[in-house]
Amino acid sequence: MRAPGGLAAMVLALAAGSTGCKEDGARPTTIVAVSDTADQVLQAFHHFITADGVRQSEVQADTAFFFDASQTMLLRRMRVVFFDSAGAQRATVTAQRGQYLWQSGNMIAEGAVVMTTVDGRVLKSEKLVFDETKQQICTDLPFDFDDQSSHVQGQGFCSDKQFTNIRASKPTGTSKEGVLLPGQAEAADSGRAP
């Protein structure tokens, strides 16, 4: 009979640690897995988040770990669909893992994050932070952004949820016709990013 994944890892850690103890009183370190500390663990998680009867987002994950005390949910292999105030789909985000805070509605997506809007814009980064309180999407890591006419990359950005007011750090890019975007020519001439 095979032990469950989290239990098997703990048993192996304890077994390995107990054979390596010395007489000097050193104790083995036990690794506690997320699944061992979560209040609930759900497989094939699928949930709609609503406000005043209007759906705000649809959250899917291979695994969801719930922590009641911190009001936090950890997601593995996640997919989140965001809706506008009328309930129409606005964007989809996929990532290897994520964290959702119930009280604030804030979310962090990490690991091969891809955000695709319904009008075809695509944003890629290793981390995106969705701040519900400020109505912002930000990252302090490198990003790539593509729309129908251009490609932009940079070292971090912060934007409103509609991507109408964007502040980027060290942005560079080209239009689909191969023309440098404003500011890139000066950056290339001076050897620094705008």
Measured CA to CA, the distance from residue 120 to residue 82 in angstroms comes to: 15
* pTM, full prediction: 0.69
What region, left, alpha or beta, does residue 103 occupy, with left being phi > 0 and alpha being psi -120 to 50 degrees?
alpha
Strands of 52-147 (E only): list them. Answer: 54-67, 72-83, 89-101, 107-117, 122-131, 136-139, 143-146
Q: Among 2-11, 42-51, 63-72, where is mean pLDDT lowest? A: 2-11
What is the reported pLDDT for 26? 58
Residue 120: both structure tokens together: 């075809």
Structural domains of the chain sorted by starting position, each given as residue range(s) with its CATH number in brackets: 34-176 (2.60.450.10)
- Identify any residues that bridge with 99 across adjacent strands, giving them in sequence order: 74, 108
What is the reported pLDDT for 14? 33
Per-residue pLDDT band for 169 (boundaries 50, 70, 90) equals confident
The DSSP annotation for 122-183 comes to: EEEEEEEEEETTTTEEEESS-EEEE-SSEEEEESEEEEETTSSSEEEES-EEEETTSPBPTT
Per-residue pLDDT band for 109 (boundaries 50, 70, 90) equals very high
pLDDT 10s digits, 16-67: 344 444 445 555 554 445 556 788 888 999 988 887 888 888 999 999 998 9
Is the distance from CB of 153 to CB of 122 less than 8 angstroms?
Answer: no
